[in-house]
Chains A and B, each alone.
Chain A
Amino acid sequence: MSDYYVGILILVCINLLSVLGLSLMTGFTGLFNFGQAGFMAVGAYTATILTTRYSVPFAPALVAGMITSLLTSFVIGYPTLRLKGDYFAIATLGFAEAVRLLVENLEKITGGSRGIPRIPTHTNLPVSLAAAVIALLLVANYVRSRHGRNCVAIREDELAAESIGVNSFRYKQISFAINAALAGLSGGLLAHYIGFIQPSMFGMIKSTELIVMVIFGGMHSITGAVFAALVLTSLPELLRAAQAWRLVAYGAVVVLIMVARPEGLMGSWELTPANVRALFTRSRAVESG
């Protein structure tokens, strides 16, 4: 495999980490988060400052990035998670902008808007693939547990969920924390793949791109999240020859999906052995009938 395709695959894995977190938080728990890039920035800058300035090894630096991002989610979540849906989404938007501005202005620590150059490029395919697969398994397990069901119950009807004894605040906080940890890891890996970070990489555009992936793939499907991360990360890269038109194509694909299938490509369908079997028996029945 050429380096070029390996590079795309690494980016897919990095994006997938962020998208998995968002899928749990927005798709399954119903908390819209328009500030995912802010959590990636927290993870990226924490890990990068540790590896470049304090020569901390790669793995502990990544973990530190995850933990910092996770703690940030508690600080942000505590006052905002009690807000109603739309207000919470705006709070996350504000958070991400605040992080970006903070990074831009703390020049001594973060290098300001010029960013941090010459980051050791530790991120390779095995590392990012392993991280993505492990995260996928953990999130897939979580959404099928009793805790995952409680999250979906909150999304479906928060009042009814509370009435059967579900502590909605706690479960929102957990979803938010898992999401933030994954975004932090994603940011740390991204920084050590590209070898350079600056605040503009973690702006509104990045947050929007990630939430679009979740909606595109299907809000209620982990399979959809994986598929969307794969297609929507590689599509703009593979269409690079078409230059400016590739972004038009990207937009067109997203609009098309939203018009034709508002629930996202996969809806709430999951790729499990039982579901695949059901799919085949159904298509056979159609053929014979």
Chain B
Amino acid sequence: MEFIIKQLKHCALVEINGRIDSYTSPRIDETIKSLIADGYCNLVIDLKKVTFISSSGILVLVNAQKKCIRNSMGQIVISSIPELVYSSFKLAGFDQLFEFYDDATTAVGSF
């Protein structure tokens, strides 16, 4: 799993590539927490190149979203999510907790 972080004017864009599972999700957790600590509370998580997500990966994003919403700091939105990866969000009932965009450009423009 690899990711690229782009710190933009109104938000940060995190492009993730590969699997998000119990092995890789702690790195994503650290990255998101670090961005929030740096003041980037509006985050676009682009999952275009993500091939798999487990419940541990979903919970990393859910917990970060909780923190953002609870503190009225901003929100996490998700872009370019593959259909099978989205099916796990839907199964867990977390599809209603995020805004999903077709591509990263549109998601960045939402802030």
A, B in one complex: no
B residues bordering A, Cβ < 8 Å?
none
